[in-house]
Amino acid sequence: LHVTQPLAPGAAVAPTLDQSRYLTQVMRLKLGDDLLVFNGRDGEWRATLVEILKKGVILRAEDQVRPQAYGPDLELIVAVVKKSRVETIVEKAAELGAARVRLTITQRTNVDHVRLDRLDAIAIEAAEQTGRLDVPTVDDPQKLGALLDGWDPSRRLMFCDETGGAPVASAVTESGPWAILIGPEGGFSPEERDRLRALPFTTAVSLGPRILRADTAAIAAMTLWQAAVGD
């Protein structure tokens, strides 16, 4: 269970009301029962259910069962697509180990509103399900131009280009910080593609001869990246 409070021996932890209901009504936990909790910073802890109140349950952290661990330094940058697809992408990015999901607005992006609170909740649930101890952050949409202007050149950018590029296995050979870029349903404009290809930190890759929907492309790209880098 993901919680927000610091975890230390004897620390009181108050899950949200929804989480409390889940623990008592779905998991049927009773006073004195144990469960595992994490907050993304202090590792994984065994906690005991010590109080059941109207406004939620109270847990007491007992002992650490796993030290804090972080996944690969991988960012997924995706053009905002329609709601259900963005939600799938955030969930799968959390499952596949991305540290951060950045949403971007491109020339052919026609959706610019996202519910970040909902996407954060999806990232937390997916992290819980995979057993990872960190939760990917999800950033507010940012224009592609501004995102590239502020780029830290020590991070390589794997630009997924359906018009052609190298196979991921041969293009991604160095470990270290990476980001994967996936375009919108309408693809990148020729102007955007030219700029992306000219950047010194960019490697254009192909995900195969078929044109994939953005959510499929994100999953395929993260999987191929992992196969190449081994994380």
**Contacting positions for ligand SAM (CB under 6 A):** 160-162, 182-183, 185-188, 206-208, 210-214, 217
Q: Which is nearer to ligand SAM, 50 or 211 (CB)?
A: 211
Phi/psi at 190 (5° precision) = -55, -40
What sign has the CA pseudo-torsion 69, 75, 80, 82? negative
| Minimum gap (Å) between residue 212 Cβ and ligand SAM | 4
What string of H, E and C letters represents the secondary structure of 203-229? EEEECCCCCCCHHHHHHHHHHHHHHHH
- Residue closest to 70 by CA, chosen among 155, 123, 136, 134: 134
What's the order of all strands across the beta sheet hosting 44-53? Answer: 12-13, 56-66, 44-53, 34-38
CA distances from 171 to 88, 96, 211 (A): 26, 20, 19
Least spacing, CB of residue 171 vs ligand SAM, in Å: 11
Q: Which is nearer to ligand SAM, 79 or 122 (CB)?
A: 79
Q: Considering the complex, state which of residue 21 and residue 83 has its C-beta at the smaller distance from ligand SAM.
A: 83
Query: What's the closest the beta carbon of residue 79 comes to ligand SAM, in angstroms?
Result: 7
Q: Give the residue closest to ligand SAM by C-beta.
A: 183
Q: Which is nearer to ligand SAM, 35 or 166 (CB)?
A: 166
Asked whether 35 and 1 are in contact (CB, 8 A), the reply is yes
CB of 215 to ligand SAM, least distance (A): 9
Q: At what angle do helices 83-95 and 214-229 cross, to 10 degrees?
A: 10
- CB nearer to ligand SAM: pick between 85 and 132: 85
Smallest gap from residue 104 Cβ to ligand SAM (A) = 11
